[in-house]
Amino acid sequence: MNDETLRRGLSEAAWGYFFLTFDLTIGAVNLLPRFAGYLVFLLAIRDLSGTRRDLAGLRPMASLLALWEAGQWLASWAGASLEGHIPLLDLVVAAAELYFAFQFLTDLAALAENLQGPEENLAGRLRGLRTANLLLSTACCLVSWVPEVALRDWAMAALLGFSLVGMVVAVILVVTLFQLRARVPDRELPQQNI
Amino acid sequence: MRDIWAFLLQTLTVSGAAVLILTVKRLFRDRLTPRWQAAVWLVLLIPLLLPARWNGNDVLFPWSLWVESLRTAWTGEFAGLVPVTAPIPLPPGHLPKTLRDWLFLLYLAGVAFFLLRDGAAYLSLRVLASRAEEGDSAAVKAVADRYGLPVRPVRAVRGLPSPFTVGVLRPMLVLPAEGETDEKVLLHELLHCRYHDMVWGLVLSVFRAIHWCNPLLRYCLDRAANDVEALCDQRVLERLEGEERRDYGRILLSMADDRHARCPGTSCIANGSRNIRRRIEAIVRFRLYPAGMGLVSVCLLLVLAVPMVIGVRATGLQTGLGADVAMASARTLRCGTRDGALDTYAGAVLHRNALLRAVCAPLEEQDSLADALEQSGSGTTEGDESWDPGIEAMPWTGYQVYNVEEVGNDVFDGLLVVQTAPSEEEYVPLAYQTVRVWQETGRWVVQARAPFVRVNSANSDFRTCPCPELPALAEYAGRFGDFVLRVRWQTRMVSTGSEADWNAGTWILHTDDTFRTDRAVRWQADYVGSPDRQREYTRLSARIQPQWDEGPYPDLAPVPRTEEGGGGGDNTGSDWVDRFLASDWESPILLGEGWHSTTREDVPVAYLARLAVNGDEEEQGILERMEGRELP
């Protein structure tokens, strides 16, 4: 693994979160589709798995999520949605999303341990963001499964609040990953050492 | 479960959850530890322990729709819903008469057989263990002391292929009498005791008997038992070091061909070659599972468990598959709130729709609605024009619900008001019907209490103007000299839903804010004095204010008086008027009327009023609620 691959992998991870977080919808078409985020994550996994072995195990899950989000994106062209038709599938996807995000950030935090400067705590920040992201996603998921509650004003406000905080978390995450990329040293990293 | 339909609904509901768990276990097979792989079966315990549709919702799939459709297709009955009162079989309470009764009896016999068989197997092992000679207690004590585990009684049995633990409350280790048992095997069995794994064996065995004719669930319950063994392996590995771990794997491999029989209340380290292969795979992955996954493991369990408790509420009618399925979907598509039921009933009246009517109809009316649907030939359509509500309403003018009042515990009466024909020049033709709303087996239902009554409203638009021609919810009156002040109180509820809600089928999810509630107050002064004195009155000054509690009542503020007269009110419901009367005034004198938004549906207990004539001093009095009483 060389520095260039590592830098590229971290950039791809940051851009992946960018695609997952932001929507730019014109008409019925989202120009920043979430499936593109997972495709970029797949590239990041390819580039970073040499340094962090656990990442390779996330490839099937990222592929599954990319496929689901691509289907979702195509359905949105027709004003439809894949969600809500087969609750079992919704739950499997929700579980995969939760796990993927947590594991991916855990691995990136482990990478950061080796890259950050002596006075920095990028790894700790990544782990904090990972935990916040997981708790927010879980809360949103649980509220959305309680229709009577989800329709209440306070629940709508809570969901909106979760989404806003989630967006702030994602923005900090993207910035942190770009900061991490800037810490990649100009030297060869040993393979499979973490 | 008192009949075969209830069992079918229960076992299908659990099966859906089982498919989910098998899917996520497959997804996370290499990613999460045996601890999570075993804990995820707790999610299956939820539908196993909760009666299907305990809160009116299905779990993951619309099982009740399918079971109800099957029941209707078999029995021809539309009334009633399959009740699952308990997740365990109960005696049917009557002698078998039909094939369905005999099938349920056969099922009960199967449950009894499996429970007795497992119970007998447990007892025989327990007796075998208690009659056996004492085993190598010193070796067991040494292992227990080394790993900080409680010591258990040990028995030695000749010819035993592999050791096992038996007993739920007072477990004991049963070891082969021949040879010495490896201390890692003893550790495995002591850990079973430490974590009370035999209780799980018992629980799984009971559910295996209850769902004996469901191969998917039997497979899942076996998998759950094997995952408990794998979890125990992990606990062993966490306590061993380096070469000892490899030795433990070799021991398991050596047991791959040992005979085993599953028995409740026991645990056996050897549980069949296929299961041992799985456990060895898990042991190989022991160091490869990503670390630090505790929090996400808990979150995943939560995300999977909550939908098992809450279920999914059906949100649409199944049309296009015939009348049986359509009616079954209407029955199971319950209205969750009073307002949702009223909204659905109004939709049924406006669109003359038997399916919508079935959604909010008491179960006893389902058969006649099914007949109406079949006769109209609308079994495969949306159901419009398939039911005669007794009135031809105009759908595009909507509806209003007047005078909703709680008449019992969660029982409400009200008036459904619709327009019946285009407005004439002088009036709007309306019709109203008294309806009652209450809860029946978790569904809010509406029943018509009387046929529609036609009235003509002088107001040009019944949706915006009060209609005094419609009945009042309460009337108040009080005498002040030659005048009687009367107040007429109506409430109306106006739907805040849109046609889009209807099309999306979300009306049944409407919460209490489906409607906006308004109150209409019309107040007037009736002259009851001598005709000779009528023309002496040239000016009326009055104020009214609703009282929500019994007295003592406060003093009302005086009526503001000016040279031109005037009127006004505030959001407490207080209205006042100061009016100069024309020389030819007639009784009654309308003092005010109009809609005001309100947040309360109850009615005042009385009205306070002040009245003065010809600018004299005001007199304060009470307007009592009449309710058919004569004015004192």
Given a contact cutoff of 8 angstroms between Cβ atoms, the answer to whether A99 and A141 are in contact is no
B56 shares contact with chain A (CB less than 8 Å): no
Amino acid at site B179: G
Say if B504 is an interface residue toward chain A (CB within 8 Å): no
Residues 48-67 in A contacting B (C-alpha not used; CB under 8 Å): 54, 57, 61, 64
What number is the average pLDDT over the span A22-38? 83
DSSP state of B554: P
Quick: pLDDT tens for B274-296.
777 777 777 777 666 666 788 89
Contact with chain B for residue A78, Cβ under 8 A: no
ipTM: 0.89
Residue of A nearest to B20 (CA): A88
| Centroid of chain to Cα B457 | 40
The pairing of strands B133-134 and B154-157 is antiparallel
* Nearest CB to A98; choose among B303, B313, B336: B303
Three-state DSSP state, B458: coil
Asked if pLDDT for residue A135 goes beyond 90, the answer is yes
Residue A29: Cβ-neighbour burial (10 angstroms; 0-12, 13-18, 19+): exposed
Q: Quick one: CA torsion of B366, B367, B370, B376, rounded to 10 degrees?
A: -120
Residue B355 confidence (pLDDT): 86
Nearest CA-CA partner of B516 in B593, B602, B596: B596
d(CA A32, CA A24): 6
Confidence bin at B180 (pLDDT 50/70/90): confident
Least confident of A99-108, B97-106, B124-133, B378-387: B378-387
The predicted structure's pLDDT at residue B629: 53
Cβ atoms of B379 and B348 closer than 8 Å = no
In B223-371, DSSP assigns E strands to: 266-268
Cβ atoms of B289 and B35 closer than 8 Å: no
Total Cβ atoms within 10 A of residue A21 = 18
- More confident position, B580 or B496: B580
pLDDT at B628 over 60: no
Give the Cβ contact number of residue B409 at 10 Å. Answer: 7
pLDDT band at B508 (very low <50, low <70, confident <90, very high): very low
pLDDT higher than 60, residue A190: no
Q: Are A151 and B496 in contact (CB under 8 A)?
A: no
Angstrom CA distances, B249 to B218, B234, B252, B627, stand at: 28, 11, 5, 86
List Cα–Cα distances, B580 to B251, B484, B537, B572, B584, in angstroms: 107, 18, 9, 26, 12
CB proximity A152 to B under 8 Å: yes
Torsion-angle region of residue A80: left (phi > 0), alpha (psi -120 to 50) or beta? Answer: beta
Q: What mean pLDDT comes out for the span B390-416?
A: 87
Give Rg (Cα) of chain A. 18
Cα separation, B485 vs B328, in Å, equals 54
Q: Which residues contact A44 (CB under 8 A, 6 or more apart)?
A: A9, A10, A12, A13, A16
Q: What is the DSSP letter of B558?
A: P
Contacts of B32 in chain A (CB under 8 A): 99
* A73-77, B23-27, B105-109, B336-340, range with the lowest pLDDT: B336-340
pLDDT tens, B194-247?
888 888 888 999 999 999 999 999 999 999 988 988 888 888 888 888 788 778
Q: What is the pLDDT of residue B254?
A: 75
- Residues B356 and B348: their CA atoms lie apart, in Å, by 5
Among residues B387, B163, B373, B154, which one has the least CA distance to residue B267? B163
Taking alpha carbons only, the member of B87, B91, B103 closest to residue B6 is: B87
The verdict on A93 touching B (C-beta cutoff 8 Å) is no
Q: Collapse the DSSP code of A85 into the 3-class scheme (helix H, G, I; strand E, B; otherwise coil) and give the result.
A: coil
DSSP H or E stretch at residue B543: strand B539-547
* Residue corresponding to tokens 């005669």: B388
